[in-house]
Structure formats: C-alpha cells, structure tokens
Amino acid sequence: MSSGRAAVIPVHFWGTRGSLPAPLGRDAVRGKIREALFAARNRNLTTEKAIDRFIDNDLPFAVGGTFGGNTSCVEIATGGDEYLLCDLGSGLREFGNHLIARDGPGQPHTFNVFLSHMHWDHIMGFPCFTPAYIPGNRIRIYGCHKNLSEGLLRQQSEPCFPVSFASLGSTIEFVQLEPDVEYQVAGFSVTAWKQFHSGDSYGYRFARDGKTIVYSTDCEHKAPVLDATYPFVGFFRNADLLIFDAMYSLADTVSVREDWGHSSNVVAVELAQLAKVRRLVLFHHEPAYDDARIARVFADTMRYEEISRAGHKVEVIAAYDGLRLAV
Ligand SMILES: [Zn+2]
Ligand SMILES: [Zn+2]
C-alpha cells in the first residue's frame, strides 16, 4: 500500500454482454422512441438542453439508453503507459477504435490482456482490433489454459477469417500463468483463480495501492455450497469492485439454465455479502434479455441486497457498454 491517498483506478466497460453480441433491432429502437415520446407529452421540451435533462433525469435507463450488445471486454487503467484489459470480446473493437481516434495509428502501445477462457464471446473482438495490425504495438496475452494461443490462431484461419494470425503486424506474446500465484504486471499484482465452467475459466484478482478489482466471469456457482468457507469468498474478499457473471435471474438458473456454466444475480449478492465486497457489478448479460428485462433483474438485485443485508452494504451496479467507474 502506498503512502497518502490511494490513486483512483478508472475501469471502463467496453463490452458487457454474454455469449454473443446482441445489437438493438428496429423494433427495440422504435419501442424506446415510442415510450420516450409518450413520457414527453405535455412537457415543454423546446431546447436540446431541456431534452438532454429529460433523458438523463426522467427516462428510465432502459428507455433513454441501452445496456449494449458487445461481448466481454473491460479495461483497467494502469496509470502508466501500458494498457490492461480483461478478455477480447467484441467490445475490444470499440476500445481499439477509440485509441486510434485519440492517438492516431502511429503511436505504439503495449497491451496486457488477461483471458478468462477461449470461448468465442471472449476472443471474437481480436480479429477486428486494429492495433493488432499495426507494427510497433505489443500485445501480451496472459492466461492459464495450456493451449492459450490455439483459440486465437484458429479463429483467424481459413475459411473463417481472411487474415491469418501470423500476418498481424504487431508483436504478440502468450504468457502462461499458474492459478493461485501472484504476478506483477503493469503496476498491478495479479492472481488467477480457477472457476467452474465448461473447459475451465479463470478469474483474476488485481491489486494496486490498497485497491482490489476482481474480474470473475463465466463461472457457475451452485447455490447449496455458499457459505463463508466457500473458496471463492476468499478470492473475492474485501474487493473494492467485483465484476461478476450474473447472466441469469435466479428463476432461470434453477430451472432452464442449470449447468449452463453461469450464475445468477442472487448468487452474486450472496457471495459479495459473504466476501464483504464494496461494489458488485452485474456482468455478462444474457443476450436474450432486452433492456427492460436487464433493468428488472437489476432492480430485483438491489432489492435483494437490501433485504438480505446483515450489516455490510454492497453497492450493486449493472454493467453497460460505455460504463466508466472510478475504483
Ligand atoms: Zn462468456
Ligand atoms: Zn464461456
């Protein structure tokens, strides 16, 4: 822990959807416009400023915005020159485009990527990550799977993608990690943790200046084993931010989606409470849920946290593409 006030760590969510991208269709957009116009009737919205205020203050998020449709990609700012990312879902493309718009293509960067696993939704952004094509950029991909490079090489092979992985202009390295071992990367201490998921997935605990961020997506916690002795409680312990796979509502997890490798909003709250987490981020949203449904799950989750709270308050946040948090 450094002396004095701990530096704030910005966290930017570039992709928050699970399993596959879920763009808004015409009917969804039309539904939002209809609801917004209905809510705006009899209001004197004659200036852009008044309209913005109305969107921000009077419309529910599910009407005035969207949780977004890109798959897993989260950026944790390092405070230095290097970048730190969790997963390479389709949100990565937005991140790459943002960087190039800001710095131009000539500015070299170093990216440290922590891969939870190689299911397609967690790597599909890489072939469209423009910085990967630019010589001078360095990309280090960290993970615990023994065949770490295989998924990325395969998704950029004929006949699935026209540009081979080997022809990318940037320098790409794969770094094999062991779970439960602490590593130092880009100013953070990082520890990986094996999770319950088809083919295994790994969560990561990042710590710097006394702040802790845990990225734990694609893991199925089975309800009966959740108490203070459950090993994940130690992994999440006292995290300032826990990014958690809360793909389903509890009703879905215990009925149709059991053994699908993901967890519910209720399990998220229970584990966050046991581990005394400060802020819980619901992440990896089910692609079949529309904005209104995710908003309902979010509201239910906040209510559940309130009624099940035993002293320690967990702040619940629903992730959306573009969300920025200061940890
Ligand atoms: Zn996933
Ligand atoms: Zn998965």
> What is the DSSP annotation of 164-203?
-GGG-SSEEEEEE--TT-EEEETTEEEEEEEESSTT-EEE
| Cα–ligand 2 centroid distance for 106 (angstroms) | 34
Dig out the tokens for 174 from the structure: 């794969």
Look over the chain and give the mean of its residue pLDDT values, rounded to a whole number.
94
Ligand nearest to the CA of 245: 1
CA 118 – CA 142 distance, rounded (Å): 12
Q: Is the pLDDT of residue 3 over 50?
A: no
**Average pLDDT score over residue span 7-35:** 97
Output the CA 280–ligand 1 centroid distance in Å.
Answer: 18
**Å from CA of 121 to ligand 1 middle:** 5
Amino acid at 269: V
216 Cα to the center of ligand 2, angstroms: 11
Burial class (CB in 10 A: 0-12, 13-18, 19+), 230: middle
Residue 126 φ then ψ, to 5°: -65, -45
DSSP state of 106: T
Q: Would you state the structure tokens that stand for residue 320, as one six-digit string? A: 């959306």
Residue type, 142: Y
Segment 9-37 shows an average pLDDT of 97
Percent of the chain exceeding pLDDT 90 equals 87
Whole-number Å distance, alpha carbon 27 to ligand 2 midpoint, is: 29
Q: Report how far ligand 2's centroid is from the alpha carbon of 169 (Å).
A: 28
The sheet carrying 10-15 orders its strands as 171-176, 138-143, 110-114, 83-86, 73-77, 10-15, 324-326
pLDDT score at 317: 98
Q: Which tens digits make up the pLDDT trace of 256-287? A: 666 677 888 989 999 999 999 999 999 999 99
Query: At 1, is the pLDDT very low, low, confident or very high (cuts 50, 70, 90)?
Result: very low
pLDDT of 145 strictly over 80: yes
High-pLDDT (> 70) share of the chain, %? 94
Burial class from Cβ neighbours inside 10 Å (0-12, 13-18, 19+) for residue 68 reads: buried
Residue 174 to residue 96: CA distance in whole angstroms: 19
90-115 average pLDDT score: 96
Q: According to the model, what pLDDT value does residue 2 have? A: 45
Q: How far is the CA of 49 from the centre of ligand 1 (A)?
A: 39
Query: How many whole angstroms separate alpha carbon 143 and alpha carbon 114?
Result: 6
pLDDT of the residue at 263: 84
pLDDT at 204: 98
Q: Which one of the ligands is nearest to 219 CA? A: 2
- Which residue shows structure tokens 């130092």? 184
Q: What is the pLDDT of residue 248?
A: 75
CA distance 181 to 155: 29
pLDDT in tens, 186-221: 999 999 999 999 999 999 999 999 999 999 999 999
**Cα(19) to centroid of ligand 1, in Å?**
5
Closest listed ligand to the CA of 15: 1
Ligand 2 center to residue 207 CA distance, Å?
A: 24
Q: What are 230's two structure tokens?
A: 């459950």
Contacts of 220 (CB under 8 A, 6+ apart): 196, 197, 259, 260, 261, 262, 263
pLDDT at 71: 98
Indicate whether 255 pLDDT > 70: no
Quick one: pLDDT at residue 262? 81
pLDDT at 257: 65
For residues 317 and 282, the answer to whether their CB atoms sit within 8 Å is yes
Q: Is residue 78 over pLDDT 90?
A: yes
- Which range is least confidently modeled, 18-27, 56-65, 119-128, 263-272? 263-272
Tens of pLDDT, residue by residue over 7-17, are: 899 999 999 99
- Two tokens at 189? 């201490």
What is the Å distance from ligand 1's center to 228 Cα?
27
Q: How many residues does the chain have?
A: 327
Give ion ligand 1 contacts, CB < 5 A. 18, 121, 218
Q: How far is the CA of 18 from the centre of ligand 1 (A)?
A: 5
**What band does 6 get if pLDDT is binned at 50, 70 and 90?**
confident
Q: Report the pLDDT value the prediction gives residue 67, as an integer from 0 to 100.
A: 98
Question: Using CA atoms, how far apart are residues 28 and 48, in angstroms rounded to an integer?
Answer: 23
225-247 average pLDDT score = 92
**pLDDT given for residue 222 in this prediction:** 75
